[in-house]
Amino acid sequence: MRIAMIGSGYVGLVSGACFADFGHQVVCVDKDTRKIDALKQGEMPIYEPGLSELVASNARQGRLSFTTDLKDPVAEADAVFIAVGTPSRRGDGHADLTYVYDAAREVARAISGFTAVITKSTVPVGTGDEVERVMRQTRGDADFAVVSNPEFLREGAAIRDFKHPDRIVIGTHDERAKELMAEIYRPLYLNRAPIMYTERRTAELIKYAANAFLATKITFINEMADLAEKVGADVQEVARGIGLDNRIGGKFLHAGPGFGGSCFPKDTLALIKTGQDYEAPLRIVETVVAVNDQRKRAMARKVLAAAGGSLRDKTVAILGLTFKPNTDDMRDSPSIPLITALQDMGAKVRAYDPEGMQQARDVLSNEVAYTDSAYACADGADAMVIVTEWEQFRALDLDAIRASMKSPVIVDLRNVYPAEEVEKRGFAYIGIGRAPARNR
């Protein structure tokens, strides 16, 4: 199968490389010349475990290539995936669909023969209808079907998620497009991944509903964590206790500093706006967004309390900058409002992240001092804050860190360590949703 992937960002590049690994012929198209030149040299624009090797292998075998020229790959393709960005629009929170519609117009001009045009980008309900209208307006004689095929990839585990999906959602009523999509995903037959065929608008809403529900689970357990701290309970045991109920499930019940990243913040906002547009307000999702924003700001007050009520001229070591481990993505990371608030309180901030420091420099104050290890970050600090649960932070030499810190204070926003283990090494330990061991 010949596939053109429009957009070589996170979704487009991972999807294109995985489709190529299935044996399809894939051309990834992007207008960013520097990105395409880098990809041709084997340099990845994002960090995703295993992606560099997957791209290199399929490029070497001739199944995956990169170009800035859309015309020829689209004309030769059986299927064209649109995987461009849909960021939140400034001012109102709606998804900005400019790139989607621009791509649709260019694709319409270039297609030859019947072509499935598949929206892989996360788009609001009704976008497929508008893509179809734009394409027919651009070229009335074109033979195509617009399909919705949302992605459900977790950053840091995207390749596994693509190759071992929980489900594949395909929104179309066109029989030719259904047959073509079945052939594209046929290599997953042995994994018995369920393919769900539905209406296009339903497929679009499934993506938003899934992300909003997961964001709600995170926010729920974070509020339970606040209550657990007040009443002397342990939120991790609470999460396990309710997660063993198979109606609830244990995933996304890990208390922390709030959700971030490229999906949940913008997708919940876009869903709220859709509800408002259709006069079907989504009060639960609205509350989730408000509570999450407040929580990220509140984390600085937790650090302030741990440091004795004042951070003026004190050094705070931040371990982890990205919104989650195994990615370099800084978009809407909880570390951003945390660091900003700490600096506003007079703290000197020192930071370390295994992959995200270059991206952090683009979004954080120049006054942040970056180090080359967790130990260098903690050296001489008045408090150390674990913000992202990278595996490198799970087995730190706590005795060495205590000896190097000015004040042995750990604020663990991911509950990486048992309180007892840290406190017996002489630290003041503050976790999320559980009282210090000495107070139990």
Distance CA 264, CA 254 (A): 16
Decide: residue 166, CB within 10 A, 0-12 exposed, 13-18 middle, 19+ buried.
Answer: exposed
Distance CA 368, CA 100 (A): 36
Does residue 66 contact residue 103 with C-beta atoms inside 8 Å? no
User: What DSSP letter does each residue of 390-401 carry, written as one string?
Assistant: -GGGTT--HHHH
Indicate the residue type of 233.
A
18 is catalytic: no
Helix residue ranges per DSSP H, 185-252 = 200-231, 235-243
Indicate the residue type of 109.
R
Helix pair angle (264-277, 200-231), 10° resolution: 120
Indicate the residue type of 180.
L
Distance CA 320, CA 389 (A): 7
Encoded tokens for 77: 């393709």
Active-site annotation holder among 18, 28, 263, 377: 263
For residue 371, report the phi and psi dihedrals to the nearest 5 degrees: -120, 175
> Among all residues, which ones are annotated catalytic?
263
